[in-house]
Homo-oligomer: A and B are copies of this chain.
Amino acid sequence: MPDATILMTPKARDLLQKQERSASVVGFEEAVVDFFVDAADLLGVPKSVAVLYGIVFASPQPLSFADIQARGTLSKGSVSQGLRVLREMGAIKEVSAPADRSELFTPDLEMRRLIQRFLEQRLEKQLAAGKSRLGALQRALPNLEKSHAETLRSRLEQLQSWHEKARALLPIARTYLKLAPG
């Protein structure tokens, strides 16, 4: 490795790497990161994960662990955990390294599947929980005095109706996602 950077501390190398990226590239990356941070916030995904995904998404080349850490935005721990989460979700994939170097990550652009999996994980679990709660309510109802039972029965029905609507929405969304390009 007859390379001047070998004499530098890792920190110095990182800084160099950072400065080498042109202002426009950095600016673009920042904008992408902001976009994903916003979206993550809506979906309840931790910010660090969104930042990480933004960095990978904004890079034309696959990035290594070190590359990402060199951005200086995230701690080693966050990078490690975040990459794991993203891999497990299928949001990024590792492209086999050209030579000896460590694994490189690039976004998995099958976003359709990604989003689908995400929705299903969250909603499906939620709907299952809701269903059992409604069951409990159903069972609690007969024990109430007559005067109360009537109003409450109708409210419970309302809850059930909404629950069903929500459940019906999942397949619709699924179908919808299959249409149109992307």
Q: Chain A interface (Cβ within 8 Å of chain B)?
A: 22, 24-25, 27-28, 31-32, 34-35, 38-39, 42, 44, 57-58, 60, 107, 109, 111, 115, 122-123, 126, 129-130, 133-134, 136-137, 140-141, 143-145, 147-148, 151-152, 155, 158-159, 161-162, 165, 169, 172-173, 176-177, 180-182
Contact = CB atoms under 8 A, between A and B. Distances in A.
A22 B146 CA distance: 13
Given A39-B130, A158-B111, A165 B180 contact: yes
Given A24-B144, A165-B182, A172-B176, A31 B137 contact: yes
A134 B34 CA distance: 10
Contacts of A38: 126, 129-130, 133
A152 B56 CA distance: 11
A129 B111 CA distance: 21
Contacts of A140: 24, 27-28, 31
A143 B107 CA distance: 22
Main secondary structure on A side of the interface with B:
helix
Contacts of A169: 173, 176
Contacts of A22: 145
Contact of A182 (B60, B137, B151, B161): B161
B25 A158 contact: no
A107 B156 CA distance: 13
Nearest to A34: B133
Nearest to A179: B165
Contacts of A165: 176-177, 180, 182
B182 A130 contact: no
Contacts of A172: 172, 176
